[in-house]
Amino acid sequence: MSKIKSVTTHVVSAPVEKPFTSSRGWLYKVRGTCLVEIETDDGVVGWGECYGPSAVAKAFIDTQLAAHVIGRDPFDVEVIWEYLYNRIKDYGQTGMAIAAISGIDIALWDLIGKICGRPVHKLIGGAFRSEVQAYATGLYFIDMNRLVEEAVEEAEGFCARGFRAIKMKIGLGDTARDVARIAAVRAAIGPDVRLMVDANHCLTVPNAIRLGRKLEELDIEWFEEPISPEDIDGYIEVTRALDIAVAGGENDFTRWGFRDKIVRKAMDIVQPDVCAAGGITECKKIAAMATAHGVECVPHAWGSAVGLAATLQFLAAIPDQPPCLFPRPPLLEFEQEENPFRDHLAKEPIVQHGGIVKIPTGPGLGIEVDRAVIEKYRKA
């Protein structure tokens, strides 16, 4: 029986040629991540990824978690999850502590799949779908003197590459400026391309409602993170005031963090990130809770090919919400800003054709990690 021999963290970083920002005001000048490599005593390797500041994730795993994983049976994935969570509960119920556990959990599922010779989705319930529609996340703020023009150009570029759904960043501090920019994009891509907007929780409740009513006139599919993630009552106000779907949850962690938002229907769509919210193990529980309360689950994704592959495995295994004759399956977030770890870390990159991405069917996560890319971008 295989036992876990080692847990290794790899912090990688690469400069961004064209820096970009969102409404949070944090300028992305580099792209980086923390990858988790778990190896068994018979040489099988599994890969995971942690969302958030990579050095913090590495420190958490190296100093608090890794020693408690070594020597265990990788098939005890849920036992390991519960042990790690309860061990750090006094100081790690949310945030980077859970992101660190997420990376370990994903790597364990990759290991289990490789040992069994089956993709992860076959081990967590089976495939409801063999492919997913991807939406391009982009249209960040780059040139502050060409905010409308650059958004239109980028959106048209996504459509030319086959995407049939796009999510754009908003939050310019003025409702009229945001509406003008969104309207220009909608006019450029036409009515047949699905369009979502993401405010990255920069608005107050009244401003979110005011902007949301304008968005309803522009056929926007969902209004993502309009307000601060801590404000459950505020989300309820915004969601009840608008006909447009309200989404959020990328900054929430574990089933306990999602519980009240789902039970109280504070939002129409929850967006757990498998690399942040607790890994595949925990996200399956979050999705089940959402389904039980009539809330859609459309995961957030941001990172390398490892996190993208894990998201695809998770997406394959969650049912349509609601189930019906003509369902609208959950979408895949396919972020499109410059990122060598998304494009080159997997020896066979994950790509879209006509806006569709196939669910990987190889063992584990279904990708093979290129160690040369890790060495090239390893952060000292």
| Helix (H) or strand (E) segment spanning residue 210 | helix 205-216
Q: Residues 6 or more apart from 261 whose CB is under 8 A from it?
A: 232, 235, 248, 249, 252, 267, 270
The whole-angstrom distance between residue 265's C-alpha and the CA centroid of its chain comes to: 21
68 is a catalytic site residue: no
Interatomic CA distance for residues 69 and 112, integer angstroms: 15
Closest CA to 308 of 261, 234, 359: 359
Q: Which of 10, 300, 344, 353 is catalytic?
A: 300
Please enumerate in sequence order all residues whose Cβ is within 8 A of that of 340, keeping only pairs 6 or more positions apart, or say none: 14, 31, 373, 377
Tokens of 4: 């876990």
| Contacts with 330 (C-beta within 8 Å, 6 or more apart), sequence order | 132, 296, 297, 298, 299, 315, 318, 320, 321
Residues 6+ apart with CB under 8 A from 82: none
First-to-last CA distance in the chain? 35
DSSP code of residue 331: P
* Closest to 50 (Cα-Cα) out of 100, 124, 115, 109: 100
Supply the Cα-derived Rg of the chain in whole angstroms: 20
Closest CA to 297 of 263, 323, 327, 320: 320
Give the C-alpha separation, 142 to 206, whole Å: 27
Identify the bridge partners of residue 110 per DSSP, sorted by sequence position: none
- Whether 370 and 344 have beta carbons less than 8 Å apart is answered as yes
Angle, vertex CA 320, rays to CA 316 and CA 326, nearest 5: 120
User: So which residues are the catalytic ones?
Assistant: 300
